[in-house]
A and B are shown apart, each in its own frame.
Chain A
């Protein structure tokens, strides 16, 4: 039975799509919605936390260009413990993260999204097109934002 299960997993892996699961999620302002309601034609997703320095660096860098693209949505999935909401809000305000209808901060309180996306260690960055994951990147070094920008432009202008 175990062999059959493993074979099935292998078989499905060959043909499966890397699709964004449509979970219900909670935003920083405590509103509930679903992941698909937050996405656009192209979406940049980043798993982050206030204590994660590479994550903060990555967000600082991508914030410099994400508003240049009309069809791009940004979803920052925060993995801080639920009690750290004040810390998250303080950082978002101090750094002026441009929250609007195309820039969202999702709170992954029970680590549901983190577990589902194998997001540890963070940062984990994903780019989706029509809710299909087309790019995954783990970790961040200054300079990586150029690669992210190039991928976004390739997808938008292809």
Chain B
């Protein structure tokens, strides 16, 4: 009892300088394909303000059994205690730092993707107007769902990595240029692997734009393995302004760990692969439309040449146009020599369209703007994508590639009636060709090569449609109805005869959300959601479909 009183007295004396914010999130889901979860997450931030410094504690508790994605948690999920002065700070706990533009270190926590690269340890920052220094030391525990290991499940990780990291980052602004230098060591003791990374950056802002260059080098060493793996890469970006028009060009050449088509995706065996703490600039357009987000690309730091060109500007005072062109390929073209072994031929400086080099190409044209009275907002465009995502064979007799080719037209319209009602409508149409392109090479004069295409789906072209209608009343109630359809029979993709496989070709859902006040919201959802790629800020993961079920979410800022 005495200790209780002491604590109360202690905290009472501080009350005028203490700031506390809390957030509670309760989530429940139950579906016909066993996508069941219940989660309770409570985050609290306690800050003590003093004239010359601040002390802050962040605690995140979770009780999930099971969670929507990831492993069960019971107790303290994360914590951070920080001491902040004007020019420096010291943090203990789960540390997140970003160095440069992330090519060497960019720690993120995306709970919806079960992607967390925070390090439990110590972080130090020192900053003056022309100078900054960051230090980090700590342990990382990463987990993934991968088909390279047994027991693959899209929701539950089956591959685990423990890393110990330490390093330093230095930035200096002098003579109009920003320079940055970072070194980072990563030890995976359980695997006897050591990585050493270094990064140099230089950037300059000028009156009509900016230019930025970043170089990375990575050396990886595994005990009892003959050869070290050495990789490197660079990223160059330039933005120019011509009145209200902006033009951005970026180029990347990444050769961290080049592997042939057989071992390319084997993340557990390729110890020289880029690390999860490395997140480079995305290099591709981050789509927000439903169907387009499923075909979003992730930069492959191990083996990729990429080019991005974007122009945007106003058509008039209310309307904007943006043109985006992206092209990438692997750094080598892969072909088979006698015996079926793979060999690589180096590409030129620019990405190639050759099928044997995993080419990707996208053109996206977007218009957005408001009506004259400002009550209607629209966003529409057209998107073309061509991709080879698997090279199966490439010999003098035959060639076989797995391809995706799509055309998508999205449209978003928001109306504000001027009264208490507002409406939003989203329509998307996609024509997708996905399957195997085969070529049998003719060695007889006068007879052409034989081209064929086959898909595992019943249709040559998959037609995907998405419609979403929402209405909001008085900024309190939101009602949403969504339906997505496809003409393809996706049950043919269920090779493993997985009983939880969702073989529907229509997904309907209805949701209601009620905002009690600015900090408390309840959402109820009933129906189905199609599975597929889910991306947040360029980090992507396959998410299982949610078939015919109920979801309830409640969030509250307890302030």
Contacts and interface: CB of A to CB of B under 8 A. Distances in A.
Given A93-B244, A141-B422, A81 B537 contact: yes
B246 A144 contact: no
A96 B212 CA distance: 22
B416 A143 contact: yes
Contact of A116 (B58, B86, B282): B58
Interface in B403-428: 412, 414, 416, 418, 422
B86 A89 contact: no
A156 interface: no
B16 interface: yes
Interface in B238-292: 239, 241, 244-246, 248, 250, 279-282, 286, 288
19 contacts: A7-B4, A17-B19, A21-B56, A23-B84, A24-B84, A24-B127, A34-B86, A51-B286, A81-B102, A85-B237, A86-B210, A86-B237, A90-B246, A115-B96, A116-B45, A116-B47, A136-B518, A138-B518, A142-B416
Interface in B347-402: 370, 374-375, 377, 379
Interface string B142-178: 0000000000000000000000000000000100001
A8 B250 CA distance: 52
Contacts of B370: 60
A61 to B, nearest CB: 8
A139 B521 CA distance: 11
Interface of A: 4, 7-9, 11-13, 15-19, 21-24, 29-32, 34, 50-51, 53, 57, 60-61, 80-87, 89-91, 93-96, 109-112, 115-118, 135-139, 141-144, 147
Nearest to A90: B246
Interface stretch (B309-317, B325-333, B336-344): B309-317
A150 to B, nearest CB: 13
Nearest to A14: B15
Contact of B3 (A4, A51, A87, A89): A4
B32 interface: no
B467 interface: no
Contact of B7 (A8, A60, A111, A142): A8
B104 to A, nearest CB: 11
Nearest to B415: A142
B124 to A, nearest CB: 13
A142 B422 CA distance: 7
Contacts of A61: 374
B519 interface: yes
Contact of B559 (A18, A116, A137): A18
Interface residues of B, number: 90
A53 B127 contact: no
A51 to B, nearest CB: 5
B519 A136 contact: yes
Contacts of A29: 205
B248 A86 contact: yes
Contact of A111 (B3, B4, B102, B108): B108
B98 interface: yes
B4 A136 contact: no
A57 B374 CA distance: 10
B320 interface: yes
- Classify the interface of chain B: helix, strand, loop or mixed: strand
B308 to A, nearest CB: 9
A21 B49 contact: yes
B96 A89 contact: no
Nearest to B377: A57
Contacts of A31: 129
Given A83-B101, A94-B245, A141-B416, A9 B4 contact: no
B48 to A, nearest CB: 10
A81 B282 contact: yes
Interface stretch (B20-28, B437-445, B541-549): B20-28
A127 to B, nearest CB: 11
B470 to A, nearest CB: 10
Given A11-B8, A12-B15, A111-B96, A86 B559 contact: no
A11 B11 contact: yes
A138 B237 CA distance: 34
Nearest to B421: A143
Given A12-B46, A118-B23, A142 B377 contact: yes
A118 B21 contact: yes
Contacts of B414: 57, 142
Contact of A110 (B45, B98, B416, B521): B98
A111 B107 CA distance: 9
Given A4-B7, A110-B107, A137-B518, A87 B248 contact: yes
Given A21-B19, A110-B96, A110-B107, A84 B282 contact: yes
Nearest to B243: A93
Contacts of B58: 115-116
B239 A81 contact: no
A113 to B, nearest CB: 11
Contacts of B21: 18, 117-118
Contact of B101 (A82, A90, A95, A136): A82
Contact of A83 (B56, B280, B313, B418): B280
